[in-house]
Chain A
Amino acid sequence: MSQTITIDGKEIPFSEGQTIMDAAIAADIYIPHLCHNPDYTPHGSCKLCTVKVNGRNCSACTFPATEGQEIQNQSDELEKDRKRITQMLFVEGNHFCPSCEKTGNCQLQGVAYYLDMHDNHFPHFFANREVDSSHPEILIDHNRCIFCNLCVRASQEKDHKNVFAISGRGINKRLIINSISGQLKDSDIAIDDCAAHICPTGAILIKRTGYQVPIGERIYDKQKIDAVALAKENKDHG
């Protein structure tokens, strides 16, 4: 007999070993997320996918689905908390969307739009972060890094390299690059690496590909992130 969990009153099936996120995606239910990508080991750090499981907050991307769980994904409380967490990411870094090539294709922005976020709510940190343009083909703007860890995982799990790592503690957390100089040009990243293309924001960009699609005609200009994410992440969509 197949096992099921219930998300917002809808009963959906799951199989052994699946997380709540896996089961939700397979059932075409969108749970907001930034650090999660089904192609990589779940990380559970952004906390946007927080859902209530039998009344308790859990990260959907890491929490295993088990028979009979009652899960709340959409509620005013959860939506408000998700909006606030997104706003935290916006004030922590320096996200000046009008000057970013990723605008319109940026998942951080896509989630913010989805959550009807109009402002950053909190005081800004105006953190002092660097731009590493040393590499001939790939640019890193640390101002836009949200520490999703996806480039770290992509480099390890898919590229079998260790180009990136997360360092520092607390609010001084930072993305570091594996080279003697600490610069990207001296690392062994290659333009075809998954790590060079995985960034959900504009922190890692490919040079000389900018503005090929005009602003206003980009991914999240045309479609909400729930539809975009499910189309990509639910393999049944082919």
Chain B
Amino acid sequence: MADKFKVATTSLAGCFGCHMSFLDIDERMIELAKHVEFDRSPITDIEHCSPCDIGLIEGGVCNSENVHVLREFRKNCKILVAVGACAINGGLPAMRNHIPLEECLNESYIDGIGVENGQIPNDPELPLLLDKVHPIHEIVKVDYYLPGCPPSADVFWAFLSDLIAGKEPSLPYDLVHFD
């Protein structure tokens, strides 16, 4: 039997909804497991990528840590895939883009309702926010895009099945959604 495809996944500025949708392939996971082995992913708890065939990125880029993780994926994955609206266009987190970051932080940590003794977090362990949320293709080169919020389980299945079969992936009309 041929070597299994190594797949890594992560969620950047996302809600893990795309991961949940991926898991919705349900029993097809058993078939998938015959062909695929997971590397870094919330599913495996592996912390860093080793060289992979496919990297699935959920979420856009909102902070410095996202940049580091995205670069690690790009470096290690032969095929990098933007999964879901946030990775593709910034999604809902990018709706903060027309509000200056300073206002966002002040509202959250200084003068928002219910905030007492407010302070903007400054622990060096914490990643700093970028002034705008960016889709991942504005930071690294992306090979494929799976639209949807989230992409349905069928989208993941169709896409990975094509790749495993050695075909150029394509999505039929009824699988292309932006919502």
Contacts and interface: CB of A to CB of B under 8 A. Distances in A.
Contacts of A99: 92, 95
Contacts of B149: 97-98
A124 B146 contact: no
Interface residues of A, number: 29
Contacts of B135: 120, 124
Contacts of A129: 98
A116 B171 contact: yes
Given A94-B95, A124-B135, A215-B179, A119 B82 contact: yes
A120 B88 contact: yes
B51 interface: no
B59 interface: no
Given A119-B145, A126-B132, A98 B89 contact: no
B169 to A, nearest CB: 10
B51 to A, nearest CB: 25
Nearest to A113: B176
Contacts of B92: 96, 98-99
Nearest to B84: A98
Contacts of B173: 113-114, 116, 224
A109 interface: yes
B178 to A, nearest CB: 4
Contacts of A94: 94-95, 97-98
A124 to B, nearest CB: 7
Nearest to B142: A119
B90 interface: yes
Given A90-B89, A124-B135, A103 B179 contact: yes
Nearest to A114: B173
Given A118-B146, A118-B176, A126-B132, A97 B85 contact: yes
A124 B138 contact: yes
Given A119-B145, A120-B89, A98 B176 contact: no
A148 interface: no
A103 B89 contact: no
A119 B147 contact: yes
Contact of A126 (B82, B88, B98): B98
Interface in B118-144: 132, 134-135, 137-138, 142, 144
Contacts of B178: 97-98, 103, 109, 112
Contact of B97 (A114, A119, A120, A126): A126
B170 to A, nearest CB: 8
Contacts of B94: 94, 96, 124, 126
A83 B119 CA distance: 47
Given A94-B97, A118-B147, 15 more contacts: A94-B95, A96-B89, A97-B85, A97-B149, A98-B91, A109-B178, A114-B173, A116-B171, A116-B176, A118-B146, A118-B171, A123-B138, A124-B134, A124-B135, A126-B97
Interface of B: 82, 85, 88-92, 94-95, 97-98, 132, 134-135, 137-138, 142, 144-147, 149, 170-171, 173-174, 176-179
